Structure 1
Amino acid sequence: MSEPREPGLTDVPETMLWTLHSRAVEAMRPDSVFPDAKAVEIYQSLDYDFERSFGRSNPMAALRARMFDRSVSTFIAENPGGSIVNLGEGLETQRYRISDDSCAWYTVDLPAAIEIRERFIAPDERHTHITLSATDRAWMDRIPEDRPVLIAAQGLFMYFQEQEVRGLLNDIAARFPQCQLVFDVIPYWVSRASVLAKGLPLTRHYRTPVMPWGVHRFSLRTKLKGWVRRPCNIDLVDYPRFPRGALRLVSWVVPMLPGARHWVPLVAEIQLL
């Protein structure tokens, strides 16, 4: 077995280690709700003190990944032979969790992220890596326009400015006639706290990058419809409840409080018509 290697990541690309921490630790539990053998393999192959940076893990990123898996699985069942584009995919291991032999998969990410991804996950005939920022529209030239496409952004858009998110969604809607989008959204108060504090301190040793884009839930549907400028169906999907511990109780109680749903993250799904 080879020696663990340092990931050598900073700023937004380093956040892929934060989400890997959540998925892998959850997967290693005997009572796991999220099996992910590939994430565990990568986690154990990296010379990085995950707990020093990110603290004790919780399953939030694993629960989010499960939501994205469901969206992708539904798309594959309804659109065999389509395209799946993951923006800012990092060390996400979704392709190992979903059975599919028909769709073309594309990963769009920064050079540092693609470099570490390819230490563990190689591209092949159906899985293409595109070394570009998600905001560089050149990646769109690599995606077929004559077939259905699902474009997913997991743990990405909160690091963009609102005008960047608006412009990207508008350009995607204009470019791809048969398109679905799925991405997660943080509430405005988290974004605001991040901006004011110049990043959120997870531990004494790690501060998140600034997250400029957060939204009040009650205004999100209207914003998105205005941004894509096409007829569409929009679903705002709540995270699953936590599977155990004190957070399980919190995740049961919070949705029952008046207005509380406006204060928690969610996943947005857009079906362009």
Structure 2
Amino acid sequence: MNQESEHNEAARSAVAAAAVKVDLGGIPETMLWTLHNRARESKRPDARLKDPEAVRIYDSIAYDYERSFGRPDSSHPMRSVVFDEALRSWLSAHPGGTVVELACGLETQFQRCDDGRVHWLCVDVPVALDVRERFLPATSRCRHVRKSALDLSWMDQVDATRGVFVTAQGLFMYFDEKDVRRLVVAMFERFPGVELMFDTIPPWFSKKTLEGFAKTEHYTTPPMPWGVSADAIEPLLRGWSGRIATVKTTPYGAFRGPLSVYLRLFSRIPVLRSVPPTIVHVRTRAAVP
């Protein structure tokens, strides 16, 4: 081993020794999956998502990401780009408003989108927030609520005087439909005029996860019982609540590689539009018409 190689090996060993070990399983472990994809995208010279905090956290955790999740893909960073664009537009129209981030995990949307005025509420189960707080401590404008999104008492922590925007990236598919409906309707009733943004998976992929979807030979995704096709989501939501003003559905964004070609094809052929996952942005009325 030459001197340069010895130096590089010593540097890698020092980083590994300093890295933080985390103990996660089930749904909370998926926060490392999304972190893997966002951080690796951000490290690219042509990154479409600049997320330096994700990179910092990614490099600080002692975890074999590729062993569990395989090579990174652009799904999660492109999803974050779509969410960020919608949120920044909302923030410009609602200075000092409140953003509620359900199942925040190690998502760094607050760090990417903070305008210096927004009030942010990170809601997640205790085991997830235990990990988050090792890297992203709560602040006066970014508070943490240690509850499941299905524990509706988190709503008591929301200041709705300047508007409310709720995000739920990679969450609802892990719930049963009846639980999604209860949560969504409760938000619409509690916060008239609220905007909600979430993503869905199609029924075929939901079925695949219920049968046991192995992302790699070392990692099987948690079951995702709620799958809904893109063309079914608006009538489903309108059947749940009369407060809905508009429902906008969009694909995840500009994927890299061959998948981008397939997704463009799917979007142009009606019978295939429900094949990919979908991002849903719901705007509600301040009062029932």
TM-score by length of 2: 0.90
Identify the residue that residue 208 of structure 1 maps to in structure 2: 221
| Cα displacement string for residues 60-79 of structure 1 (whole angstroms, at most 9, x for unaligned residues) | 10000111111110110111
Cα shift at 1:248 = 2.9
Query: SS of the residue aligned with 1:61?
Result: helix
* Alpha-carbon distance between aligned partners in 2 of 1:247 and 1:231, rounded to the nearest angstrom: 33
From 100, 124, 130, give the equivalent of 2:115: 100
The runs of 4+ residues in structure 1 deviating greater than 6 Å are: none
Cα shift at 1:261 = 1.0
Cα shift at 1:144 = 1.6
Go from structure 1 to structure 2 and tell me whether the alpha carbon gap of 1:270 and 1:258 turns closer, same or farther (over 3 Å shift).
Answer: closer
From 235, 252, 255, give the equivalent of 1:222: 235
Identify the residue that residue 49 of structure 2 maps to in structure 1: 34
* Alpha-carbon distance between aligned partners in 2 of 1:200 and 1:231, rounded to the nearest angstrom: 34
Identify the residue that residue 99 of structure 2 maps to in structure 1: 84
* Alpha-carbon distance between aligned partners in 1 of 2:153 and 2:217, rounded to the nearest angstrom: 39
Q: Give the AA of the match of 2:222.
A: P
Identify the residue that residue 256 of structure 1 maps to in structure 2: 268
* Alpha-carbon distance between aligned partners in 2 of 1:59 and 1:52, rounded to the nearest angstrom: 18
* Alpha-carbon distance between aligned partners in 2 of 1:16 and 1:44, rounded to the nearest angstrom: 14
| Cα displacement string for residues 12-61 of structure 1 (whole angstroms, at most 9, x for unaligned residues) | 00001000010001111112111111000000000100000000110110
Q: Give the AA of the match of 1:215.
A: V
| Cα displacement string for residues 158-194 of structure 1 (whole angstroms, at most 9, x for unaligned residues) | 0000000000011111101231000001111111121
* Alpha-carbon distance between aligned partners in 2 of 1:49 and 1:37, rounded to the nearest angstrom: 20
> Are residue 191 (structure 1) and residue 191 (structure 2) matched?
no
Note the residue ranges of structure 2 that are not aligned, 5 or more in a row.
Answer: 1-14
* Alpha-carbon distance between aligned partners in 1 of 2:82 and 2:241, rounded to the nearest angstrom: 23
Identify the residue that residue 146 of structure 1 maps to in structure 2: 161
Matching of residues 1-273 of structure 1 within 5 Å: 3-195=18-210, 197=211, 199-243=212-256, 245-273=257-285
* Alpha-carbon distance between aligned partners in 1 of 2:59 and 2:244, rounded to the nearest angstrom: 46
TM-score by length of 1: 0.95
Question: Is the 1:157–1:185 Cα contact (8 Å) retained in structure 2?
Answer: yes
Q: Give the AA of the match of 2:263.
A: S
Question: Is the 2:249–2:281 Cα contact (8 Å) retained in structure 1?
Answer: yes
Question: Is the 2:197–2:281 Cα contact (8 Å) retained in structure 1?
Answer: yes
| Cα displacement string for residues 103-147 of structure 1 (whole angstroms, at most 9, x for unaligned residues) | 100000000110110111011110100000000011000002333
Question: Is the 2:98–2:160 Cα contact (8 Å) retained in structure 1?
Answer: no
Question: Is the 1:22–1:61 Cα contact (8 Å) retained in structure 2?
Answer: yes
Query: SS of the residue aligned with 1:134?
Result: coil
Question: Is the 2:97–2:160 Cα contact (8 Å) retained in structure 1?
Answer: no
Q: Give the AA of the match of 1:15.
A: T
* Alpha-carbon distance between aligned partners in 2 of 1:247 and 1:20, rounded to the nearest angstrom: 20
Q: Give the AA of the match of 2:137.
A: A
* Alpha-carbon distance between aligned partners in 1 of 2:155 and 2:100, rounded to the nearest angstrom: 10
* Alpha-carbon distance between aligned partners in 2 of 1:99 and 1:143, rounded to the nearest angstrom: 17
* Alpha-carbon distance between aligned partners in 2 of 1:250 and 1:238, rounded to the nearest angstrom: 12
Question: Is the 1:147–1:178 Cα contact (8 Å) retained in structure 2?
Answer: no
Note the residue ranges of structure 1 that are not aligned, 5 or more in a row.
Answer: none
The number of residue pairs the alignment matches comes to 270
Question: Is the 1:157–1:213 Cα contact (8 Å) retained in structure 2?
Answer: yes
Of structures 1 and 2, the larger Rg is shown by 2
Query: SS of the residue aligned with 1:262?
Result: coil
Query: SS of the residue aligned with 1:259?
Result: helix
* Alpha-carbon distance between aligned partners in 2 of 1:229 and 1:251, rounded to the nearest angstrom: 32
